[in-house]
């Protein structure tokens, strides 16, 4: 929803995911190319993140959605 509804302001949003190598990783929404029902695809053309790894969505550092 963020990519479509706030497409002019995506730089305000950050995705927090659980990562196997780090405890939590933050990904700016600017780096997200597209999202489907199961995965998030980043603009580097290689990275694919499963949706179940998403922990939070933040806007300007404030949590607006959390899995917990």
Residue 68 CA, distance from chain mean position: 16
pLDDT the model gives residue 47:
93
- Give the number of domains in the chain: 1
pLDDT per position as a tens digit, 8-30: 788 899 999 998 777 789 999 99
d(CA 32, CA 58): 14
Average per-residue pLDDT for the chain:
89
pLDDT the model gives residue 8:
77
DSSP-assigned beta bridge partners for residue 59? 13, 62
**Residues of the domain holding 13:** 2-66
- This prediction has a pTM of 0.82
């Amino acid at each position: 929803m963020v990519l479509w509804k706030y497409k002019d302001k995506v730089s305000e949003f950050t995705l927090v995911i659980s990562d196997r190598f780090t405890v939590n990783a933050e990904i700016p929404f600017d780096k997200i190319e597209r999202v489907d029902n199961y995965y998030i695809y980043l603009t580097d053309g290689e990275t694919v993140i499963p949706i179940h790894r998403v922990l939070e969505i933040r806007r300007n550092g404030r949590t607006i959605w959390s899995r917990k």
